[in-house]
Chain A
Amino acid sequence: MSVQTERALAQSLIKLLSKKTLDKITVRDITDDCGVNRQTFYYHFHDVYDLVEWIFVDRSRAYMEDGITLGNWKNILLRIMSDLREDRSFTMNTYYSLTRRELDEFMTKLFRPAFRQLMDQVMEEHRISEKDQDFIVNIYTYAVVGVLTEWIASGMPEEFIRDLDRLYEAVGGTMAFSVENLEKADRSPFDWK
């Protein structure tokens, strides 16, 4: 029992998703394809959706492997979007089988760690409370999850990826700016020195 088993089950699910939507796939389908028994599946996962979540988390981990920085996050976002496009059947079949709420939850798992890491870098030069940091991390996560979900809903057009530069122009440097704003707001007028 190991990460290899989890990965093999994930591979089977991704393979099955090229043929049918998630809601039509049973645990038995996955274990038959993978050549393990149901016990092995359930040792690792509560159900098929739990495995989908694992795939999102695992991918997020892979994207973050080299560390995410204020310098490379644009390329990482580009990679994520290209991969989602490349795995069209996985992405679209997952999209059509999940409720909006579930999709948001999984996409949040995919993106939040990256914004958290960016925040840690911004925080090297600033001081705001943990709660405020989470607040800003959430704003960025929701923004990107919202934009990407709409992009997936519209069939993942390639033009959008080409237009990403506009997004970068629009948000570049704004995380540090938001942190500074909160920092200023916290400083009491008698504490300005």
Chain B
Amino acid sequence: MSIVGDEIKKLGLMSMYTFLDRDPEENLPKLIDWLDKYTTKDVLVEQRALFREIIERKDSNWYQLLVSLFTDLEDETRKRLFENLVINANALAAHQIRDSRDKYGCNIPWIISIAVEESGEDLGFDQWDDVIEQAKSLGTFMYIFLGGEPLRAKEEIIALCNKHQDCEFMAMTDGALIDEDFVKQVLRVKNLIPCLKVKGTVMDEELSRSAGLLRAGKVPYAATCYYEAEDQDLYDQEAFFDDLIAHGVKLVFFESPLSEAEDRVYRRVMAYRQTKPILSIHFCKDRKIIGGCVAGGRYFCSINAKGDLEPCFLVHQRDANITEKPLIEGLRSPLFMSFYGEDVPPCPASQGE
């Protein structure tokens, strides 16, 4: 697709958004018809089918969730979210990623996580800016800031978001550094989603405080839980999901190296997806939403605070560093190439499968 073609496609999609924004409940079904027309048939097939299912059942949990995006989020931020996620990162990036994959013969990630800061170590704005520029030219428009604690590098992440307005960013944070100024900056840049790390218990006092500030600012935010076998009981509970919903969380990620057979939380995720107004995604296992494990550049790659390219933030294997060579060379390194194609090794982080 040419650049002019892309611009026209974008204009079409944005005017569609304006139309939707005017009366979401009335115009949502029309939106899906349009989306089907605008994106290539083989792009996001599952996701689109899911979306159609949502809007056709108005009493469903999904429908409630979708409508809440219009009541609970600041208007301009929601618009940017749509522009970046639906148009830039999907409708337009899909063919760009495919072209890059064909050209270079390797996986091109949809999402890159960046450990922007870890125990005082930080490669700095210029280095990460350069990585993002390289990745954008390949077709990657979604980024996750990991740590340490990314909010310790608050000015750096805000500056990256402010420069790359056509990308969507997420920051995995323990929430302690979220204050009114941070909320103000997030509303200014409009393309950063804070993601609260839930540890140990259901939303504690600190996380409740952070969620409260974000909610009052009508900022989109998410939650994320990492667990191993001994923590399962904390999340394998209806009360946990209800508590997240009560705190205004609309999107929650789960990560766990447990095998599918052992993973009780995963089963709960699948069950509540049918009934509760929250989108929960199991990062390691979700076949329906993200097509199973995404590691190794298939949809995802992770860069640690020293610049090493890793197939996943749970798998600490490395053979390329972005301070030494271009990103594309890292993606074509033997480690990442072992995840290319149909014959992919079993997850190195997975326990007892």
Interface assignment of B208: CB less than 8 Å from any CB of chain A: no
Docked Cα-Cα span, A37 to B129, in Å, equals 13
Do B162 and A43 have beta carbons less than 8 Å apart? yes
| Nearest opposing residue in chain B for A39, CB measure | B125
Tally of contact residues, A, Cβ under 8 A: 12
Interface assignment of B262: CB less than 8 Å from any CB of chain A: no
Binds A, one of B153-161, B280-288, B321-329: B153-161
The residues of B that contact A42 with a CB separation of less than 8 Å are 125, 129, 159-160, 162-163
The minimal Cβ–Cβ distance linking A102 to chain B, given in whole angstroms, is: 16
Our pick among A39, A44, A45 for the contact of B156 (Cβ within 8 Å) is: A39
Interface assignment of B259: CB less than 8 Å from any CB of chain A: no
| Nearest opposing residue in chain A for B165, CB measure | A46
Our pick among B124, B129, B155, B165 for the contact of A43 (Cβ within 8 Å) is: B155
Docked Cα-Cα span, A85 to B156, in Å, equals 38
The residues of B that contact A39 with a CB separation of less than 8 Å are 124-126, 155-156, 159
Do A38 and B162 have beta carbons less than 8 Å apart? no
A130-170 contacts to B, CB under 8 A, are: none
**Digit string of A39-61 for contact with B (CB within 8 Å is 1, else 0)?**
11111111100000000000000
Our pick among B125, B162, B163, B165 for the contact of A37 (Cβ within 8 Å) is: B125
Docked Cα-Cα span, A167 to B27, in Å, equals 48
Do B126 and A43 have beta carbons less than 8 Å apart? no
The residues of B that contact A43 with a CB separation of less than 8 Å are 155, 158-159, 162
Do B125 and A38 have beta carbons less than 8 Å apart? yes
The minimal Cβ–Cβ distance linking B49 to chain A, given in whole angstroms, is: 37
Our pick among B125, B160, B162 for the contact of A45 (Cβ within 8 Å) is: B162
Do A38 and B126 have beta carbons less than 8 Å apart? yes
Interface assignment of A3: CB less than 8 Å from any CB of chain B: no
The minimal Cβ–Cβ distance linking B187 to chain A, given in whole angstroms, is: 15
The residues of A that contact B156 with a CB separation of less than 8 Å are 39
Docked Cα-Cα span, A47 to B129, in Å, equals 13
Do A46 and B162 have beta carbons less than 8 Å apart? yes
Interface assignment of A1: CB less than 8 Å from any CB of chain B: yes
**Digit string of B81-113 for contact with A (CB within 8 Å is 1, else 0)?**
000000000000000000000000000000000
Residue of A37, A38, A41, A42 most packed against chain B (CB within 10 A): A42
Docked Cα-Cα span, A62 to B12, in Å, equals 38
The residues of B that contact A45 with a CB separation of less than 8 Å are 162
B116-158 contacts to A, CB under 8 A, are: 124-126, 129, 155-156, 158
Residue of A37, A38, A39 most packed against chain B (CB within 10 A): A39
Do B162 and A1 have beta carbons less than 8 Å apart? no
The minimal Cβ–Cβ distance linking A193 to chain B, given in whole angstroms, is: 38
The residues of A that contact B163 with a CB separation of less than 8 Å are 42, 46-47
| Nearest opposing residue in chain A for B158, CB measure | A43
**Digit string of B161-201 for contact with A (CB within 8 Å is 1, else 0)?**
01101000000000000000000000000000000000000
Docked Cα-Cα span, A42 to B156, in Å, equals 9
The residues of B that contact A41 with a CB separation of less than 8 Å are 159
A50-92 contacts to B, CB under 8 A, are: none
The residues of A that contact B160 with a CB separation of less than 8 Å are 42
The minimal Cβ–Cβ distance linking A1 to chain B, given in whole angstroms, is: 7
Known contacts A39-B159, A42-B129, then 11 further A-B pairs from the complex at CB < 8 Å, ordered by chain A residue: A1-B155, A37-B125, A37-B126, A38-B126, A39-B124, A39-B125, A39-B155, A41-B159, A43-B158, A46-B163, A47-B163
Which residues of chain B have a CB within 8 Å of any CB of chain A? 124-126, 129, 155-156, 158-160, 162-163, 165
**Which 8 residue pairs spanning A and B have beta carbons closest together?**
A39-B125, A42-B159, A43-B159, A42-B163, A39-B159, A43-B155, A42-B162, A46-B165
